[in-house]
A = this chain, B = another copy of it.
Amino acid sequence: MNETIRKQLEHRTIREFKDHSIPHEIFEQLIEVARRTATHTGMQACSIIRVTDQEIKNQIAGVCNQEYVARAPELLIFIVDQYRNYQIAKEKNFTAESAKDINRFFASFTDACLMAQNVVTAAESEGLGTVYLGSIHNNTEKICEILKLPELTFPVLGLGIGYPAQDPQLKPRMDMRLRVFENAYVAFDNYLEEIRDYDEEMRTYYDLRDPGRTVDSFSAQVVSRFKHSNPKRQNMLDAIRKQGFQLTD
């Protein structure tokens, strides 16, 4: 097994980081990796906001409702960005109404995710740890406001990066025979039976966020997650519409 894959298989979320920042040279490499990431039709319609201002970090941590976010040495927000190309077209005397297409939005959203994961792999290859912050969507409109995101942009995913100050267990994952299917989707008759061992394995996992306590079985976590939808989590479609994208044909 090569070193790249070996490191990928060791991925764990890191939420607490050492105090010191990332060397400039390494950060530049991460940005270059972002730059070289595959992008839909070569359009590069996604961008990154690097948050260095502590007050802004605090505000984002507030939206995420996770105080460790404010302590991340690097905090990047990956965004959909159709604004730049819209302006480029405008300077060439073409007003691109199609920049607002929801399909273009999805293409850019995809690009932003690919870029984020490429940066994560690069960071981990340098011994850095990372934490994805889907929780920026607790209040997407607030994030747009904090980062002064113009029309035709949209926050996709946050990412904290730094040198790990914790060493969590590898988190158990379900067997891929339940997640990889040949030629057509396969529905199982009895999932609880299929994940029995996995459910048991999950009970032996210690979550560093609640040390000393093992966690619920996977199936219990699924029910709990479905039951307790985050009430603060607004409908993302509203935020998408407010940023100028068209949700209808």
Chain A contacts to B: CB under 8 angstroms: 1-5, 7-11, 13, 29, 31-38, 40-44, 46-53, 56, 79, 81, 83-89, 91-92, 94, 96, 98-99, 101-103, 106-107, 109-110, 113-114, 116-118, 120-122, 125-126, 130, 132, 134, 137, 147-150, 153, 156-157, 170-171, 173-174, 176, 178-185, 187-188, 190-192, 195, 218-223, 225-227, 229, 233, 235-237, 247-249
Say which residue of B33, B99, B157, B170 sits within 8 Å of A110 (CB atoms): B157
Q: In the complex, what residue of chain B is closest to A76 when comparing beta carbons?
A: B180
Say which residue of B34, B50, B185, B195 sits within 8 Å of A147 (CB atoms): B185
- Copies of this chain, how many? 2
- How many angstroms between the C-alpha atoms of A109 and B109 in the bound complex? 9
Extra A-B contacts (16), CB below 8 Å, given A51-B182, A235-B249: A4-B7, A4-B121, A8-B121, A9-B33, A38-B117, A40-B134, A48-B181, A56-B183, A79-B185, A88-B191, A88-B223, A89-B222, A89-B223, A101-B229, A148-B185, A150-B187
- B residues near A49, Cβ cutoff 8 Å: 180-185
- A117 engages B126 (CB within 8 Å): no
